[in-house]
Structure 1
Amino acid sequence: MTAEQIYSLGMSQIGVVFFLASFRIHLQVQHRQSLLLLQLLFFFDSLSWLFYVWQDQPLTLFLSCVTSCINVWLVLAFAMRRAGSTVKWPLIICGMLLHAGYYSYFAIQGMQAYVLHGQTLFSTLAIAPVCWLFWFKKQPRTFSDQLYVGAMLVWLLVCGSRSVLLLFAPEWLFSSLLVTQVIWPGVMVAYGIFAITSYMEETELKLKGEALHDPLTGLLNRRGMLESIRACLSYLQRKQQHAALLMIDLDFFKKINDAHGHDVGDLVLVEVADALALQLRESDVLARFGGEEFLLFLPQTSTEQAKLVAERLLAAVNALQLAVLAQSAQKLSISIGIANFGPDYDFASQLKRADQALYRAKDLGRCRIEIASE
């Protein structure tokens, strides 16, 4: 075998490795189509290099060109799904056919100048949108996604530089092709690795989010609140600025559960959480503390200001009218205990004070606000 054949066979093996590695990714249903597209593009990439081993035969050269073009446009289809968009198959198939027809015709004719310029044109048409989709549309955009975009830009740079050299410095073209052969395995490995690790990072972010959020209401849980406000508390302590902690309890929630069932109870918790959230600033942090209790952190808020916020929350919950409770005479209400940070910025101690104030509010008849004693 020639050195070029060995090189092509090695590139094909890289594609096989990524194709097999992609089957080790286990995803939820909504991501399976993008994973299938990733597997297909690895498969066709590997196949194109394998056919290229016998490029001196018209049939295998044609098959190499076609499978290579399919790979390029599958990259765009993959990017569309990863960005949460619908794959525009008429556009993808049209691009594949035009690209494959152009590439295979001029490659078989041995017209390398047209081949290089065509590859630059079609690669730009397919890969430039890939970069845009991964950078601007995909959410969440992980670090692997950013590196993936970098690999795609190198792909475009390699193709573009060959066309520029062919036009303005053809004597340097042979050297650039040698450099390309050194760079291209790195590009292939990079986009393969980062496409796979992007899924892994997303899974990690999802698991972290689940660990910090209440699955019913979507609010932060206690741990999530602690992580969210830790840096803020340190800043407030340095600046000696006020903050308030509100402990909120949904009154007579057990009666709702007993009378209507846990499904209705869950719905009530969700509606109350939404009603509370609508009254808050972006900087405020609301969490479900557990059961029917909520916790609210108000940065840069005095005791008097916190009481005004608490009054709004009280009114918002009192105004709730739920269809599931229409046959019941019971009205929704909350009790609130308020503790103020400063000069003590210890979260645990302020939580205890807010809890004591809450219990005082409940002992005094519920549906009221109590402020922790200094």
Structure 2
Amino acid sequence: MDKKSNEQWACRFTKVKAVVVELDELISRIKADHKIQTMMEEPLSMKTITRSTDTVILVKPKVDGTPVDVTCLLNEIAKLNVKFTAIPKANITWYKADSTEIKADDHFQIITDDNGQSTLTINDATLQDSQSYTARATHKVRFVVAKVNLNVKAPPKVEASQSMNDQSCVIGQGAQISWKFSGIEKPQVIWFFNDKPLPTNDHFQVAETGDKTSTLLIRQTELADQGVYTARAINTVGEAEAKTTLKIDCIKPAINTDLSPTLQVTKGETMTLNIGVSGTPKPNVVWMKSNDELTANDRIQVTIPTGDDDTYILTISNVQPEDQGEYSVKITHVSGSLKSNTCKVTVSSMS
């Protein structure tokens, strides 16, 4: 076979590297090409490949340094950086956690400089952006990937149209104040009363639910419980607070059953006077004889009602002539005062 004439013909085709007419030469070239292929597949960072008179240097891509995970606040800008080294320069693409390739738009921007540093910028970060991102550097020799995690955090937020409200309850009854907060990372909620930390005890109890609602329970409210209650939610990013002004309502006293106008008793017997008075909290009732306040002793007994009962009782045993006179009740309450009718008591001698 004429090698020279075939070389003249083959020179018109760039992909023909050589014309071989000898079997030994052909075997030698096959071995050389196989050696080059093996070198390209080995996990070495650099290859020097010689084909005839051409020398090509290939450096497979690798991650330069350790990518740093990023944390940003909700609606802020997040920048994720990865640097690759490769010869020739690698082509870098970014992917979301679900392997979707990221295309540049108003939300995502990708910039790669000549030094192999690629930056994925996420504008106005949302909670959905909180995930793992992969940068892939593709090269003639092979490809390599690097992962960067983005953690989007949000400070607590009051889940209500307004962070202040008013409540009221009747004194003696229970009160319940609830506020719901949102935020990445469950916030810790601390309660305050008139700007001072509120202790938890039998009177004040706090309950938390899975939807990040904090509820303050006040058992058997008192007038001293009236004031401003603040729920302050705190996480590692920030805090938020909501305020409730609690008003304790009282039920004004009322005389439901008044004293009888007159009462006649016999000396030595027991005298009983009853009056029915309601109100919340229970009013203070003082028994009077004329203008003098009666105090309990061996003969005089004053009974104060409990529970829903509203009957106040004055009992005088072994009635004597000096017990004769005008009896009345003076009623005082946080919301006002009242006075009963007068009962004229007559003590007669034993027949």
TM-score (norm: length of structure 2): 0.24
Hey, which of these two has a bigger chunk of strand by percent? Answer: 2
Hey, which of these two has a bigger chunk of helix by percent? Answer: 1
TM-score (norm: length of structure 1): 0.23
